[in-house]
Chain A
Amino acid sequence: MREIISRLGKFTLIRAVLLFLAVIVAVYLTVIIANLGGQLDDIRKAQIRYEIGQRAFGNPDLRTMSPEEVAEMLNALAETEFLRLGMDRPFFPMRSFEYLWRACTLDLGRAERLSSDAGSRQVHNILMERLPVTLALFGTANLVLFLLALFIALFLSRRYGGFLDRLIIALAPSSAAPGWFYGLFLILIFGALLGVLPWGGLVDAPIPDTRLAYALSVLKHMVLPVAAVVLGALFANIYTWRTFFLIYSSEDYVELARAKGLSSRSIDRRYVLRPVLPPILTSFLLVLITMWMGQIVLENVFHWPGLGSVFYQATQMNDVPVILGVIVIYGYLLAATVFVLDFVYAIIDPRVRVGGGAVRQ
């Protein structure tokens, strides 16, 4: 047991380090692309000017000076500060690493135009306020998707070739369209035509005053976006996973178990579900990664006030620090997703738990 845990720990640690390195490379790439037009330098300089302005504000000498003189003095101070911080140095290599560090720690200073609902203009605060909202929708939607697809796939694999099986498989091409696309139709049907569910948003207005009413209201608003995500990916996942089930349930050891007279329930659980979960997790990981991309549009279609919405607002208002911040957070989220699934993979895959060498794909 102890050996298993230490092996798991080692595996997890190595994966974590590798993924962190991958995130750093991804963020570095973003930083380089973003600064090709000098945007990052502009943000930094604006931030420095702002700080100098704030510091000079309390200076009593300023009262006796004319506005032009004040402006000139502040300008001179800013220029000195730029020099002190080495902003005249070439972007490569040192200064780009500095930006990398700031981006990775989300130390992106103040947003240019957006502010958080609590009133803060720090990019960090704006993003942290939106993160839980995004995670709530993403987590719920994909958990529902995963469980539904898994159970329907298992169910269909037992009724292979039946009417229901063929019907659902015939629906697989519907997943060619992303979730937000179905979201538009769902809004059209349930919001505009039937009027039974809200068009979008997070809670009713006015905001319900009890905690329970609030939660119920959020749930009600979640129905359509979750349904959109599920519709956009369900049938393709069922198709792929059903295939995995079929492949693994035609293995010899399953036949043997059947010959021994085990109940189909315990065959499914012990002999089919177990070996089939690792490939299913791998395929679900790829689904999740595309889901993160779809989330941006989905949130905009449903006016869900998460990271995707704030990202869209930031691009509309040209708020560069926020745009960068969202990209960095997205990098972390993708890495976290990969990491979590890797971890689950390690737990359920006996090759990782028991033997050492089979970790590599």
Chain B
Amino acid sequence: MQNWLATLKGARRYPSLVAGVVVIIIFVAFSIYAVVALPYAEAIRLWRGGPGVWDETPRNAAPAWFDVFIEGDTPRTIVVRSGDTGTITEEAIGDGMKRAEIVLPFQYDYDGFPSELRLYSQAEYEGSRQPATVSWHTPDGRTIILQEHRIPRATDTYYISQDQELRTQLSGMAPHQGLFVDPNDEENPLKGEYRLILTTEVPQTAELDAKLVALGQLHGLAGTDHRGRDLLVALLWGAPIGLMFGVLAAVGAQVSTFVLSAIGTWLGGKVDRLFQWLTQVNLVIPVLPLLILIGHFYSRSLWTMLGMVIALNVFSASYLTYRAMYLQAKEAPYIEAAQAYGAGNFRIIFRYLIPRIAPTLLPQFVLIIPLFVFLEATLSVLGLGDPVLPTWGKVIYDAVDEGALYKGYYYWLIEPAVLLLLLGVGFALIGYSLDRIFNPRLRTL
């Protein structure tokens, strides 16, 4: 024990070991931060999305720091609410009705066009729904009528960008471009103060509320996906999930193999032969297809997968490696001595055999963790990721599935991929260094 602790202390001579440990510590800190900053239930809710959750984030927006590389001032998301910068003027017109005018002004100084325009409005009142007029006022004094007799629902979303009539009116330009374009310069938007005015005649008791969202082209630290979800949610939560899956699977699979091979080798005879044969059988079991089958027929939950991964790896190929080690250790004189004073099988296996070989297990054990981290990603990429959890693999799956490479949203794929690679390489660095430390034969060469 002391002996290999001393070896570990000499680890400072191995810079790759230190690098690996630093990477893993960073990831552990990152995971703790993720779990604390964004509690589990909140992460799940955000990742699932749904009405109202991602209203104010653009779809497929690159990370905000991309701004540094892009010339000009790339548009960010602008939200104008009737409650703050917007104004509501109301005027009674008799018959228990009032005329309301909601003005939503905003300053637009960006060099590009927004990626989408939406108008959210709320108007709660009894009786039949009243029409509303929506108009657009540019800084140079032009007025464009967006909708003349729109009949909004109580909670209404007007997707201005998808208004086909408006598109025709703007001579075929997408509304979020056509409404901003400088009449003297087809390529660039006109800067200045824009106003969206919504007028309607509603019952006196009506509570009105409106929100204009001009979605930008950049968002947050990580960008967004095709549903407007902030990728940061998945990137943050991918770390604890990836770490947990990798480490638990590696512990479960390796430790069980390790103990079973000790038992098999010590008892010898039929048990040993049976275990060896099971290892042979396990070698030809197609693990990944079987996992996919289970994910498909029964459950895609991460826990089911974890359990199955461990179960299918109990008699993994490393059984044979361990067996070779135990065969050597079994002949050691101190084992014979233990037998001579009458130690039982249990005692010999768990107190004498296993502790002797355990340190040599360490490099293998660390090296196998990244395989399991990537296994989770592999399952996700095949569409068999956990249905609710945000993981790196699922981001990669979405990116590939939505043609991120084809459409040029490279950040979408690269962010989770780089994180996965860093985590994998971190463990691998530790594993390879430990291998050199614990295998003196390699050290002296």
The chain A residues found within 8 Å of chain B, CB to CB, are: 18-19, 21-23, 25-26, 29-30, 33-34, 36-37, 39, 160, 170, 172-178, 180-181, 184-185, 187-188, 191-192, 199, 239, 243, 246-247, 250, 286, 289-290, 292-294, 296-297, 300-301, 311-312, 315-316, 318, 323-324, 326-327, 330-331, 334-335, 338, 361
Contact = CB atoms under 8 A, between A and B. Distances in A.
A276 B371 CA distance: 26
Given A173-B428, A177-B425, A191-B405, 15 more contacts: A34-B293, A173-B424, A174-B425, A175-B428, A177-B374, A177-B420, A178-B378, A188-B405, A296-B292, A297-B378, A301-B400, A311-B289, A315-B292, A330-B289, A338-B284
Nearest to A23: B284
B317 A286 contact: yes
Contact of B370 (A176, A180, A184): A176
Contacts of B4: none
B243 interface: no
Contact of B280 (A22, A30, A39, A160): A22
Contacts of B286: 26, 292-293, 327, 330-331, 334
Q: Which 7 A-B pairs have the closest CB atoms?
A: A173-B428, A176-B424, A330-B286, A176-B370, A293-B288, A176-B428, A22-B281
B413 interface: yes
A191 B408 CA distance: 12
A79 B407 CA distance: 54
Contact of B445 (A36, A160, A185, A290): A160
Nearest to B424: A176
Given A243-B442, A312-B382, A327-B289, A18 B280 contact: yes
B121 to A, nearest CB: 40
B298 A37 contact: yes
Contacts of B432: 172-173, 239
Nearest to A300: B382
A176 B427 CA distance: 8
Contact of B290 (A243, A286, A327): A327
Interface string B227-245: 0000000000000000000
Contacts of B288: 293, 296
B251 to A, nearest CB: 18
Interface in B294-339: 294, 296-298, 317, 320, 324
Nearest to A30: B290
A22 B284 contact: yes
Contacts of A185: 417
Nearest to A25: B281
B100 interface: no
Nearest to B384: A315
10 contacts: A174-B425, A176-B425, A176-B428, A187-B405, A188-B405, A246-B442, A247-B445, A297-B378, A300-B381, A334-B283
Interface residues of B, number: 52
B441 A247 contact: yes
Interface string B214-254: 00000000000000000000000000000000000000000
B92 interface: no
A293 B16 contact: no
A74 B324 CA distance: 62
Given A172-B432, A335-B284, A184 B417 contact: yes
A323 B296 contact: yes
Given A176-B424, A297-B378, A300-B381, A39 B284 contact: no
B422 to A, nearest CB: 10
B383 interface: yes
Interface of B: 16, 20, 277, 280-281, 283-290, 292-294, 296-298, 317, 320, 324, 370-371, 374, 377-378, 381-384, 396, 400, 405-406, 408, 410, 413-414, 417, 420-421, 424-425, 427-429, 431-432, 441-442, 445
A170 B15 CA distance: 11
A188 B396 CA distance: 13
A177 B432 CA distance: 15
Contacts of B298: 36-37
Contacts of A323: 289, 292-293, 296
B285 A26 contact: yes
A176 B374 contact: yes
A188 B400 CA distance: 11
B275 to A, nearest CB: 13
Given A33-B294, A289-B283, A289-B317, A173 B425 contact: yes
Nearest to A19: B284
Contacts of B287: 293
Contacts of A39: 297
B16 A37 contact: no
B289 A296 contact: yes
Nearest to B408: A192
Contacts of B396: 184
A246 B384 CA distance: 43
A323 B293 CA distance: 7
Contacts of B383: 312, 315-316
Contact of B374 (A21, A37, A178, A312): A178
A188 B399 CA distance: 12
A115 B413 CA distance: 32
B52 to A, nearest CB: 31
Contacts of A301: 381, 400
A188 B413 contact: yes
Residue from B293, B384, B408 with most neighbouring chain A CB atoms (10 Å): B293
Contacts of B442: 243, 246
B43 to A, nearest CB: 24
Contacts of B424: 173, 176-177
B206 to A, nearest CB: 49
Contacts of B317: 286, 289
A181 B420 contact: yes
B280 A34 contact: no
A308 B283 CA distance: 19
A181 B421 contact: yes
A86 B406 CA distance: 53
